Amino acid sequence: MTTSEELKKTVREKYAEIATQPKSQNLSSCCGATGCCTTEVYTIMADDYKSIDGYNPDADLGLGCGLPTEFAKLKVGDTVIDLGSGAGNDAFVARKIVGETGEVIGIDFTEPMITLAKANAEKLGMTNVHFRQGDIEDMPVTSNKADVIISNCVLNLVPNKHKVFSEIYRVLKPSGHFSISDIVLEGEIPEKWRKIAELYAGCVSGAIQKREYLGIIQEAGFSNITLQKDKTIIIPDEILTQYLSAEEIQEYKNSKVRISSITVYAEKEAKDERGCCTPGSGCC
């Protein structure tokens, strides 16, 4: 089994578990990672959705690290794809904006999350919100499908980020755009963190350097790349002590390491300069 496959297996198992555990447990850790024994709840990564129109608490597992729908420039009638849709939280907020003439497609890696999201959509009576199980490195979606792609704290979990952004480019319509919230790093995080499965599934050690992340987006062919939000993530000592010694914690605090929640926007050109096709040409 390759390293990539092992990581995918870890993420699939962890998020299947998260789908059935209380939201309070997700919020008290790094994007749902288990193993933190603090009795106090810290919303380390997640932003507050409660005042957002279309928010449904049953669909909010507390796994996000931003509010991509607030920055995504959604319009009535848009087709939106939510990558790593979980229980449907961002998909339902997007549906409130795009309305009955729009369409929202959620893609998630884990069957329990898809089951949960479909149940939530049925309770809400939303017939134009659909959920598909699939790997976002190879999306189960036709090319040039989406006006907008959103994602919330998911791409950091994917081994091949180059392939994901290439897929995002393929699936977006010409002139389409994305708004993605994610976790990135500045400075070298201790290697020990990268070896802890819970932290990998919980965002931190799956993250890459911010400069590299933005470079991958540019290499994929996107333009007008814009940081819409950049927030430093402070992890409380009660959680750090689950993984690091007192000396390691102090060393980390004295270092220049920065963990950030960013929301980044970028656009696909009106004409695909990479030689795929132009709208109406029939070459795809």
- Of 15, 35, 16, the C-alpha closest to 25 is 35
Per-residue pLDDT for 147 more than 70? yes
Q: How confident is the model at residue 46 (pLDDT cuts 50, 70, 90)?
A: low
Is the pLDDT higher at 9 or at 20?
A: 9
**The pLDDT of residue 248:** 84
**The pLDDT of residue 240:** 76
For residue 278, the one-letter residue type is T
pLDDT exceeding 70 applies to what percent of the chain? 74
CA 50 vs CA 10, 232, 243: distances in Å? 31, 22, 32
**The pLDDT of residue 131:** 97
Tens digit of pLDDT for each residue in 84-115?
Answer: 999 999 999 999 999 999 999 999 989 989 99
Is the pTM higher than 0.75? The answer reads yes
CB 53 within 8 A of CB 92: no
Q: How confident is the model at residue 32 (pLDDT cuts 50, 70, 90)?
A: very low
Q: How confident is the model at residue 53 (pLDDT cuts 50, 70, 90)?
A: confident
The rounded mean pLDDT for the chain is: 81
**The pLDDT of residue 138:** 95
Lowest-confidence region among 34-43, 198-207, 230-239: 34-43
Per-residue pLDDT for 40 more than 50? no
The DSSP string of 181-198 is EEEEEESPPPHHHHT-HH
- Of 59, 41, 36, the C-alpha closest to 49 is 59
Whole-angstrom Cα distance, residue 44 to residue 25? 12
**The pLDDT of residue 251:** 84
What's the alpha-carbon Rg for the chain, to the nearest Å? 18
Candidates 3.30.365.10, 3.40.50.150, 2.40.340.10, 2.60.40.10; correct CATH number of 3-267? 3.40.50.150
CB 54 within 8 A of CB 92: yes
> Residue 190, Cβ neighbours under 10 Å: how many?
16
Average pLDDT over residues 58-86: 91
Tens digit of pLDDT for each residue in 148-194?
Answer: 999 998 998 888 999 999 999 999 999 999 999 998 989 887 777 66
Tens digit of pLDDT for each residue in 248-282?
Answer: 888 878 888 888 889 999 999 997 555 554 444 44
Average pLDDT over residues 46-56: 73
- In the block, tokens 């400075």 appear at 187
CB 112 within 8 A of CB 16: yes
Tens digit of pLDDT for each residue in 217-232?
Answer: 999 999 999 999 999 8
Q: How confident is the model at residue 201 (pLDDT cuts 50, 70, 90)?
A: very low
Whole-angstrom Cα distance, residue 251 to residue 247? 6
Whole-angstrom Cα distance, residue 166 to residue 139? 11
Highest mean pLDDT among 5-14, 44-53, 145-154, 253-262: 145-154
